[in-house]
Structure 1
Amino acid sequence: MSEGSAAKIHAALIARIAGGALPPGAALAETALASEFGVSRTPVREALQRLAQDGLAERGARRAFVIRRPDPAAMAGLFEAVGEIEGAIAALAAHRMSEVERAGLEALLARGETLPGEDYPAHNLAFHDALRRGAGSPVLAEVLAGLELQTLPWRALNFSRDAGRSAQSRAEHRAIADAILARDAEAARRAMQAHVAGAFLALSHSNRNPPQTDPSHDA
């Protein structure tokens, strides 16, 4: 029972991190989480330890768990690796996407043009998932999933902190898709690498200029 509860809590916390509800530095109080999920503190502790193993949580003040804060050097290295892997995936998608998948990609982009800002993060994930499927490389997809998990708390901040990032991301998606639809693998690779670099630069800027928060929220 503890194992199943821990897995459920772990999945729920990851979803909150991905959605930006748990930003870097947010406290993960065992007692509050146990009450929320209706369990003892044991499965909560197990879930938090899994988050730490994933690289998503760390010990903060008084040894309590908090969402991991970005380390500039680690963040740069992770995004560099993500850019290389996603670039390779985009290049493969340019070669391997079927006509049906290409039509679906075009339709996905069209839907994204009219989405409100709060819905754009989910659309962004759908775009990248479409390329992953179109590339047809389970090995690269698995490597990328591991890297993305480590960058999850930071990437979730991109659209919530930078009002202009969604528009920029749409333009970058269009450049990637145009290259894929033209079957230009190298152009797709370069466009994707530029897209990941843009996300990193936007995030770096937001981390240098974080929003002001009420210190009592960290208690």
Structure 2
Amino acid sequence: MQRTPFHSAFRADLLAGRFSTAEPLSESTLTAAYGVSRTPVREALSRLEQEGLITRSARGYRIRSGTPDDVIEIYDVRIALEKAAAEAAAARRTELQVAQLAQLHQHAVAAKDPATARQFNSQWHEVLWAASHNATLRETLTNLVARLRLCDREAIHRDDLADVVVEHAAIMDAIRERDGEAASAAITTHLQRTKQERLDTFARLYSAPPLSPNDLR
């Protein structure tokens, strides 16, 4: 199903953290905020529910929250699908897509702040999915990663960009050489590490702070 302009705009704002997870998403609030009729709002809410980004509540919809179990489940599926995408990309990629991967990789390396680097790295994965020339894989991975972004809303990740640079380079080398087995193995290594990094972030986010000497008095 093709996205409507409102669905695309609302989805982007949702993933960017514009809306609070504590507040319900109602048709009336969204029509007023975006200046559109109820029909596109209703259609977008229904589709975002199907995508797993929001859930129904007594007062409308709520943004889906993420737990460590959600991260594990999503990542397990993502790893299986992105392995298939990388292997297919090694066989089907065009020279233009190889050049796009290399360019985004260089932009990420040259980025002056982590947020910009992560944005380029996200785009890098999207080009990889496109290079598989499998529309179902691409759409499913897009939705899975969107759900992971919701899990990350409150998280502050450690600086793992140096690891990403090395891992992405290995994946690119395999795709450039049309080595599907190596591409599959390299992306598995990359995603297993980022899965653990997200779980470590949850552990830091929800663990109790250590007691200070004053707390023991």
Normalising to structure 1: TM-score of the pair? 0.74
Q: CA offsets per residue over residues 61-119 of structure 1, 9 Å max, x none? A: x6453211114334322211111111111122223323343233223211210112222
Q: In 2, distance between residues paired with 1:206 and 1:22? A: 22
Match of 1:141 in 2: 138
Match of 1:153 in 2: 150
Q: In 1, distance between residues paired with 2:22 and 2:165? A: 29
> Which of these two proteins has the greater Rg computed from alpha carbons?
2
Superposed displacement of residue 39, structure 1: 4.4
Match of 2:31 in 1: 34
Higher deviation after alignment, 83-92 or 26-35: 26-35
Q: In 1, distance between residues paired with 2:96 and 2:8? A: 32
**Structure 1 residue corresponding to 2:178, chosen from 173, 183, 187:** 183
Match of 2:196 in 1: 201
Q: In 2, distance between residues paired with 1:42 and 1:100? A: 39
Q: In 2, distance between residues paired with 1:198 and 1:17? A: 26
Structure 1 residues 117 and 26: CA distance shift in structure 2, 3 A: farther
Match of 2:87 in 1: 91
- Partner SS for 2:178: coil
Structure 1 residues 182 and 26: CA distance shift in structure 2, 3 A: farther
Structure 1 residues 33 and 145: CA distance shift in structure 2, 3 A: same
The unaligned stretches of length 5 or more in structure 2 are 207-217
- Partner SS for 1:172: helix
Superposed displacement of residue 136, structure 1: 2.3
Superposed displacement of residue 40, structure 1: 6.1
Match status 1:73 vs 2:69: yes
Greater relative CO (CA pairs within 8 A, separation 6+) = 1
- Partner SS for 1:48: helix
Match status 1:113 vs 2:109: yes
Match of 2:212 in 1: none
**Structure 2 residue corresponding to 1:131, chosen from 123, 128, 131:** 128
Superposed displacement of residue 43, structure 1: 5.4
Q: CA offsets per residue over residues 42-75 of structure 1, 9 Å max, x none? A: 7545543432232111246x64532111143343
Q: CA RMSD in A?
A: 3.1
- Tell whether the 8 Å contact from 1:169 to 1:195 is kept in structure 2 after alignment: yes
- Partner SS for 1:65: strand
Structure 1 residues 143 and 51: CA distance shift in structure 2, 3 A: closer
Structure 1 residues 135 and 41: CA distance shift in structure 2, 3 A: closer
The unaligned stretches of length 5 or more in structure 1 are 1-5, 212-219
Matches within 5 A, 1:2-41: 7-22=4-19, 25-30=21-26, 31-39=28-36
Normalising to structure 2: TM-score of the pair? 0.75
Q: Identity over the aligned pairs, expressed in percent?
A: 29
